C-alpha cells in the first residue's frame, strides 16, 4: 500500500478523507455534575467579585476516534454577560469511549458588569432561583489510529439552575442536578 501512496500523495489524502467520512466522529459530550457559587457580590454599582466552582463530566462517545483537548478556557455568564475571568484547564487526551471529570474554580475581582446586575440578582432572589451559564471554549484534534487532525474550535454551554431564595443558605449556592450541556464543534 505504501508504494501506491508514495507515487501519489493526492490518492493518499483522498484515502484519509474517505476513512474520515466513514468514521464520522461524534461530538464530545458534557454534563454538569456540580456547580457552587461561593461569592457574587457587588462593590458600588457595577464592580463584581465572584467565586464559582464547577465540575463537568466529559465523555468521548467514539469507538475509534480519540480526542486531544487543547486550550480549554472556562468562564461563567449570567444573562449574557461574563461574570468571572477565564480559567484555563490543563490540556488532555481522551481515549475511545473514555470519560473524565473536569473541575475548575472561576474568580472575578472588580469585574465590570451592567448597572442592572444588582437589580436582576435581587429579582432572581425574590423569584427563588438563579440561572447561570457555565461555558468552556477550546480547540480539539481528532486522533484516528496514528493520524491526528487539525484543530477544531468547540464550545460547551451548560445551564445551571440554582435555588436562591431569602431562606436559602447564603454560601455556597449549589446545584447538583445532572444537567446535560450542549456542544458545538
Ligand atoms: C472585591 O475584592 C476587592 C479586592 O480583593 C476588595 O477590595 C473589595 O472589597 C471586594 N468587594 C466586595 C464587595 O467583596
* pLDDT value for 182: 93
In a domain, 84, yes or no: yes
Total of domains in the chain: 1
Q: What's 165's domain CATH number?
A: 2.60.40
In a domain, 138, yes or no: yes
Q: What is the pLDDT of residue 2?
A: 46
Is the pLDDT assigned to residue 15 strictly greater than 70? yes
- Domain housing 127: 25-184
In a domain, 88, yes or no: yes
| Atom of ligand 1 at shortest range from CA of 41 | 13
Q: Is residue 5 part of a domain?
A: no
CA of 43 to the centre of ligand 1 (A): 7
Residue with CA at minimum distance from ligand 1 atom 2: 109
Distance in angstroms (rounded) separating the CA atoms of residues 57 and 175: 15
Asked which of 35-44, 52-61, 151-160 is least confident by mean pLDDT, the reply is 35-44
Distance CA 119, CA 133 (A): 19
Query: pTM (2 decimals)?
Result: 0.84
**Which three cell numbers, joined as nine digits, stand for 30?**
458534557
Q: Is residue 79 part of a domain?
A: yes
- Tell which atom from ligand 1 comes closest to the C-alpha of 43: 13
Name the band, by pLDDT with cuts 50, 70 and 90, for residue 129.
confident
Q: Is 13 within a domain?
A: no
Residue in the structure block whose three cell numbers are 484519509? 16
Q: 3-state secondary structure string, the chain?
A: CHHHHHHCHHHHHHHHHHHHHHHCCCCCEEEEEEEEEEEEEEECCCEEEEEEEEEEEEECCCCCCEEEEEEEEEEEEECCEECCCCEEECCEEECCCCEEEEEEEEEEEEEECCCCHHHHHHHHHHHEEEEEEEEEEEEEEEEECCEECCCEEEEEEEEEEEEECCCCCCCCEEECCCEECEEEC
Amino acid at each position: 500500500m505504501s508504494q501506491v501512496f508514495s507515487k501519489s500523495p493526492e490518492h493518499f489524502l483522498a484515502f484519509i478523507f474517505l476513512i474520515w467520512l466513514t468514521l464520522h466522529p461524534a461530538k464530545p459530550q458534557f454534563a454538569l455534575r456540580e456547580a457552587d457559587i461561593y461569592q457574587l457580590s457587588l462593590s458600588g454599582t457595577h464592580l463584581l467579585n465572584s467565586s464559582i466552582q464547577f465540575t463537568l463530566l466529559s465523555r468521548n462517545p467514539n469507538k475509534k476516534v480519540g480526542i486531544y483537548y487543547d486550550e480549554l478556557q472556562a468562564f461563567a455568564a449570567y444573562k449574557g454577560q461574563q461574570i468571572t475571568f477565564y480559567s484555563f484547564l490543563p490540556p488532555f487526551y481522551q481515549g475511545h469511549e473514555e470519560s473524565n471529570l473536569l473541575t475548575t474554580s472561576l474568580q472575578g475581582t472588580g469585574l465590570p458588569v451592567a448597572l442592572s446586575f444588582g437589580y436582576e440578582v435581587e429579582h432572581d432572589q425574590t423569584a427563588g432561583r438563579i440561572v447561570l451559564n457555565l461555558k468552556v471554549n477550546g480547540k480539539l484534534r481528532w486522533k484516528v489510529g496514528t493520524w491526528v487532525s487539525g484543530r477544531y474550535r468547540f464550545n460547551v454551554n451548560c445551564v445551571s439552575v440554582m435555588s436562591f431564595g431569602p431562606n436559602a443558605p447564603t454560601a455556597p449556592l449549589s446545584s447538583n442536578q445532572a444537567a446535560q450541556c450542549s456542544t458545538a464543534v
